[in-house]
A and B are shown apart, each in its own frame.
Chain A
Amino acid sequence: MSTSLVDADLILALDIGTITTRAILFDVVEGRYRFLGAGTTPTTANAPVGDISEGVRLALDQLEDITGRRLIGPDGQLAIPALADGSGVDACVATLSVGPPIRVVAIGLLEHLSAESARNLATTTYAEVLETLSLNDKRLTAARLDTLLSLRPDLVVIAGGAEGGASESVLNLLEAVGLACYVLPKEQRPEVLYAGNSALGQKVKESLGGLASLHIAPNVRPSLDIEQLTPSQPVLSQVFRQVRARQMRGVAEIDRWAGNRLTPTAAAFGRTIRFISKEYAHTNKGVLGIDVGASSTTVAAGYAGDLILSIYTQLGLGQNLPQMLQLCKIEDIQRWLAIEISNQELLDYIHNKAAFPGSLPAGPTELAIEQALACQAVHLAIRQAMQTYPSHLPRPFPDFLPSFEPIIASGSAFTRAPLRSQALLMLLNALQPTGITTLALDRNSLAAVLGAAAAVAPLLTIQSLDSTNFLNLCTVISPVGHAPFGAPVLRLHLTTPDKQEANLEVKFGTLEVIKLPPGQNGTLTLSPLHRFDVGLGGPGRGGTLKVIGGTLGVVIDARGRPLRFSADPGRRRDMHKKWLALFDA
């Protein structure tokens, strides 16, 4: 070992997604963790294999071929810790997102307080909240019992009672849960997560401990006006593991390899965003992470080490894709398309994609459709997530996206986009950022596994949060204000250390690009017109800032907030084509 700071040399990261399973190997070279290689195979959760460990082994086989290292021991198990002959690894971390949403019933004292917090806690993992029970619904215990039995949840989340507050009412609500567990056969009983008044923990154990698999977490609603979800999330991750281990073969084995730290992918992704937000605390802005996958869309907002994690299982791009149409109209997806396709054809595409969630867009038309679907998923997810953000967070434009620096995009819709400009436009259209921010791409799809690795090798996480893995797409300046289309709204002057200069007058309704090679420094002077706000302290206020060039340079998005499209489909498609043509990558 070349540095005492390193906890483990050879680290294996497993990422088991809905469609693909990856095995990634890191080793320490000259005191720094380096990516050695990755093996990728289709996930094998589905029948006829029905065992995720099989896909993991196939990915490890590939990884062994690529790296020339033996990872699996003679007993067919991952050799951990590494053996004397050099085979095996020092540590293993794993993330998991495959599987149907966990079926949850949320219980709280009051519908809009603790019951809502119980719901909110559930949605920080891959869950579908089927029903909420509270004192407000005035149901009798037997009716609550019938509800629980008919829904057959995988998990019951119970909140209620501020610290030092109500106790008897909380215990009354538990009666139906206890009866449901008593009535159900042991193998069908739900996991129960109690995250209410901590003073009742012992009584809850006495009441439910013998009947249910009970987990106690910190109170998610310690007082009427405070909701704290983050401290309970590790317990929720543990419950997630147990539910998945009951649902799928191989989960228990992989969890064992990972030292009982198998993490929901979204939680691990959130951990990385929280970690980065500490580094960016000086900006007084949050860090935003977006991860679009086949099973869900995750929105993680980190504020100086605090995390707001939202997972939308109805906004996955796989089997549950038709659920998106319960949240928007087909025309809302059409607006992102630069190609002509009928609503019926688009609808058929969505249903066919749901039937074959692992299929790939082979041609340009299919790619355009999938990018439009990803764009709409992110758009819907961020709109929902914004409603949950506390009002005290920095939000210069209350109706629009809060200030974030940077915004990080993950998921194959972005990372596999053949052109970086396609990824950029998906992000700009879906998120519609305001002011000044940086857009980055988790190009090797490592954000989640790095979050999982933070528990065993924090140095790996720290050293991997660089431009090798997080590609700086561009700095985006999005002026906000009102002006006629075509009116100049921003004058911009760029100088580089080698005395190169560029001047630009930006008109309202346009998207502009200034070339600044990746990594090159520049100084931007911004002079907004018409009292437009560029995020430098208020309407009409300009200033000078340092920027670093990204793959796509510096982008000025003066198309207006919110984005408005022409009612004429032909003109709208032409605009999309024009915007894409601005970029050469």
Chain B
Amino acid sequence: MYAPITHILAGTSFRRERLLPMSGRVLARRGQLVSAIDVVAEAVLNPEHMLLDIARGLGVSAKQADKLLQCKSGDEVGEGDILAGRLGMGRRVVRAPFPGRVMVAGEGQVLLQLDGQPQELKAGYPGLVVDLIGERGVIIETTGALIQGVWGNGRINYGLLSIQALAPDALLAAEQLDVSLRGTVIFGGICIDERALLAAEDLPVRGMILASMDSALVPLALRLSYPIVLIEGFGHLPLNPQAFKLLASSERREAALNAEPWNRLAGTRPEIILTAPSQTAHQPPLDTATYSTGQTVRIIHRPYQGQLGMLAAVYPGQIRLPSGIAAPAADVRLENGELVLIPLANLEIIN
């Protein structure tokens, strides 16, 4: 049975694909060093189109209009360029009303795709562009510390890390956020106060790392301009000791936040990268694993959600849980020494 893995690694080298949702233009070069916010590719995601009735414009039949076309599919045209008609003074012509690209020309019509504002794909990760993927994107190799999150608000940015949570269960208060934090990435513990999120937007900060957050703040978090990554989940969940230790010892280190939503099918999830001072290659993160005793695991569901422990025993077959449900389960030795029975479905391996 494959076990889910969450990475909390002090030093690793890994690769990530960064792809446009459709074909576009790749701007990065192979071998280029990029920051998390460098634009690596762009595409006009929602182009507007105009269907021009050439036959009507010229006052002829569709068949005749096709003979008078001055453009063909794929042509780039500027505003005012002649699309159809007899060339020469005083002749009736149809001109392009806007600059764009001819997509289809025929049957008395021209479909024009108007030039639009391209949308940018940010690198999301600091590192080296090791490969280009056609017209879709790039592969970036990154070296540093990696902490994977549970939820992200879809933004990307980076900055120097500022530790505002002195304990794994510290609450972030709006009053903590003064002007000295402008432009930093804040590690803020637990957030239950929307004023704290708004104060960070006002500064502005470049990112926020939280152990957990009230789920009522989700709509606000999605509107904010800076990235937010939750490492544990929603509610009042303290940060696990491993991630806390890593973050707490990284004050003023450069932190890149790719707060993209967790998409299990695509294999993307919110991630925090603490850039390594050198690009020396490290061991890549484990991709797959199965449960075995001695592994460090995180409990991902109540009543022990967010706690780390060690797998003490993995039982064969189905075990009756305190809820009365029967499921494959394991004994987990928590950090306080307590031994608890947890269904395997509520565990993930901490790499």
Roughly how many angstroms separate A188 CA and B300 CA in the complex, as a whole number?
36
A367:B324 contact, CB within 8 angstroms: yes
Residue from A19, A48, A150, A363 within 8 A of B288 (CB atoms): A48
Q: Are A360 and B327 also in contact (CB < 8 A) when A50-B265, A348-B235, A351-B233 are? A: yes
Fill in one digit per residue for B1-33: 1 if any A CB lies within 8 Å of its CB, else 0: 110000000000000000001110000000000
Q: Are A41 and B46 also in contact (CB < 8 A) when A356-B301, A364-B322 are? A: no
Fill in one digit per residue for B217-248: 1 if any A CB lies within 8 Å of its CB, else 0: 01000000000000001110000000000000
Q: Are A418 and B325 also in contact (CB < 8 A) when A46-B264, A348-B214, A366-B301 are? A: yes
Q: Which residue of B lies closest to A352 (CB)?
A: B233
Roughly how many angstroms separate A322 CA and B233 CA in the complex, as a whole number?
14
A44:B2 contact, CB within 8 angstroms: yes
The number of residues on chain A lying at the interface, defined by a beta carbon within 8 Å of a beta carbon of chain B, is: 53
Whether B174 sits at the interface, judged by CB under 8 Å, is no
B303:A366 contact, CB within 8 angstroms: yes
B303:A365 contact, CB within 8 angstroms: yes
Chain A contacts with B in 127-143, Cβ cutoff 8 A: 140-142
A360:B302 contact, CB within 8 angstroms: no
Roughly how many angstroms separate A418 CA and B216 CA in the complex, as a whole number?
32
Roughly how many angstroms separate A275 CA and B305 CA in the complex, as a whole number?
44
Q: Are A150 and B46 also in contact (CB < 8 A) when A347-B216, A364-B323 are? A: yes
Roughly how many angstroms separate A319 CA and B47 CA in the complex, as a whole number?
31
Residue from A58, A149, A322 within 8 A of B1 (CB atoms): A58
Residue from A146, A188, A351 within 8 A of B49 (CB atoms): A146
Whether A416 sits at the interface, judged by CB under 8 Å, is yes
Interface bracket on B: 35 or more
B323:A352 contact, CB within 8 angstroms: no
Q: Which of B88-96, B198-206, B249-257, B339-347 contacts A (4 or more CB under 8 A)?
A: B339-347
Residues of A near B303 (CB, < 8 A) are: 362-363, 365-366
Q: Which residue of A lies closest to B342 (CB)?
A: A362
Whether A398 sits at the interface, judged by CB under 8 Å, is no
A360:B345 contact, CB within 8 angstroms: yes
Looking at B104, B264, B287, B343, which has the most chain A CB atoms within 10 Å of its CB?
B264
Closest Cβ–Cβ distance, residue A137 to chain B (whole Å)? 16
Closest Cβ–Cβ distance, residue A401 to chain B (whole Å)? 28
Residues of B near A149 (CB, < 8 A) are: 46-47, 49
Closest Cβ–Cβ distance, residue B339 to chain A (whole Å)? 14
Q: Are A344 and B2 also in contact (CB < 8 A) when A99-B265, A149-B47, A366-B302 are? A: no
Closest Cβ–Cβ distance, residue A306 to chain B (whole Å)? 35
Q: Which residue of B lies closest to A47 (CB)?
A: B267
B233:A48 contact, CB within 8 angstroms: no
Residues of A near B262 (CB, < 8 A) are: 355
Looking at A45, A49, A352, which has the most chain B CB atoms within 10 Å of its CB?
A352
Q: Are A367 and B323 also in contact (CB < 8 A) when A352-B301, A362-B302 are? A: yes
Q: Which of A5-13, A110-118, A177-185, A445-453 contacts B (4 or more CB under 8 A)?
A: A177-185
B343:A351 contact, CB within 8 angstroms: no
Residue from B45, B48, B215, B301 within 8 A of A360 (CB atoms): B301
Whether A358 sits at the interface, judged by CB under 8 Å, is yes
Q: Are A179 and B111 also in contact (CB < 8 A) when A348-B214, A364-B323 are? A: yes
B234:A352 contact, CB within 8 angstroms: yes
A351:B104 contact, CB within 8 angstroms: no
Fill in one digit per residue for B84-122: 1 if any A CB lies within 8 Å of its CB, else 0: 000000000000000000011000000101000000000
Closest Cβ–Cβ distance, residue A148 to chain B (whole Å)? 10
B235:A352 contact, CB within 8 angstroms: yes
Whether A206 sits at the interface, judged by CB under 8 Å, is no
Q: Which residue of B lies closest to A346 (CB)?
A: B215
Roughly how many angstroms separate A188 CA and B235 CA in the complex, as a whole number?
40
Residues of B near A41 (CB, < 8 A) are: 1
Whether A350 sits at the interface, judged by CB under 8 Å, is yes
Closest Cβ–Cβ distance, residue B110 to chain A (whole Å)? 11
A348:B323 contact, CB within 8 angstroms: no
Whether A1 sits at the interface, judged by CB under 8 Å, is no
Q: Which residue of B lies closest to A343 (CB)?
A: B216
Whether A172 sits at the interface, judged by CB under 8 Å, is no
B51:A142 contact, CB within 8 angstroms: yes
Closest Cβ–Cβ distance, residue B103 to chain A (whole Å)? 5
Roughly how many angstroms separate A248 CA and B264 CA in the complex, as a whole number?
12
Residues of A near B341 (CB, < 8 A) are: 362
B323:A418 contact, CB within 8 angstroms: yes
Whether A226 sits at the interface, judged by CB under 8 Å, is no
A355:B324 contact, CB within 8 angstroms: no
Roughly how many angstroms separate A149 CA and B1 CA in the complex, as a whole number?
40
Q: Which residue of A lies closest to B300 (CB)?
A: A356
Fill in one digit per residue for A120-163: 1 if any B CB lies within 8 Å of its CB, else 0: 00000000000000000000111001100110100000000000
Whether B313 sits at the interface, judged by CB under 8 Å, is no
Roughly how many angstroms separate A191 CA and B329 CA in the complex, as a whole number?
43
Chain B contacts with A in 320-351, Cβ cutoff 8 A: 321-327, 341-343, 345-346
B50:A142 contact, CB within 8 angstroms: yes
Residues of B near A169 (CB, < 8 A) are: none
B345:A358 contact, CB within 8 angstroms: yes
Residues of B near A583 (CB, < 8 A) are: none
Whether B125 sits at the interface, judged by CB under 8 Å, is no
Closest Cβ–Cβ distance, residue A339 to chain B (whole Å)? 12
Whether B71 sits at the interface, judged by CB under 8 Å, is no
Roughly how many angstroms separate A183 CA and B102 CA in the complex, as a whole number?
10
Roughly how many angstroms separate A50 CA and B265 CA in the complex, as a whole number?
7
Whether A419 sits at the interface, judged by CB under 8 Å, is yes
Roughly how many angstroms separate A488 CA and B42 CA in the complex, as a whole number?
73
Residues of A near B21 (CB, < 8 A) are: 152
Q: Which residue of A lies closest to B287 (CB)?
A: A48
Residues of A near B265 (CB, < 8 A) are: 45-47, 50, 99-100, 247-248
Q: Are A355 and B150 also in contact (CB < 8 A) when A145-B49, A362-B301, A365-B303 are? A: yes
Kindly list the 8 A-B residue pairs having the minimum CB-CB distance in the complex, ordered from nearest.
A47-B267, A418-B324, A348-B235, A359-B301, A46-B264, A351-B215, A367-B323, A351-B234
22 A–B contacts, CB within 8 A, in A order:
A46-B267, A48-B267, A48-B288, A142-B49, A149-B49, A152-B22, A179-B103, A179-B104, A183-B103, A183-B104, A344-B215, A344-B216, A347-B216, A352-B305, A356-B300, A361-B321, A361-B323, A363-B302, A363-B321, A366-B301, A366-B323, A418-B324
Beyond A99-B265, A182-B104, A352-B235, list 17 extra A-B contacts (CB 8 Å): A47-B266, A50-B265, A142-B48, A145-B51, A146-B48, A179-B103, A179-B104, A183-B104, A347-B234, A351-B218, A352-B302, A360-B325, A360-B345, A361-B323, A362-B323, A363-B303, A365-B303
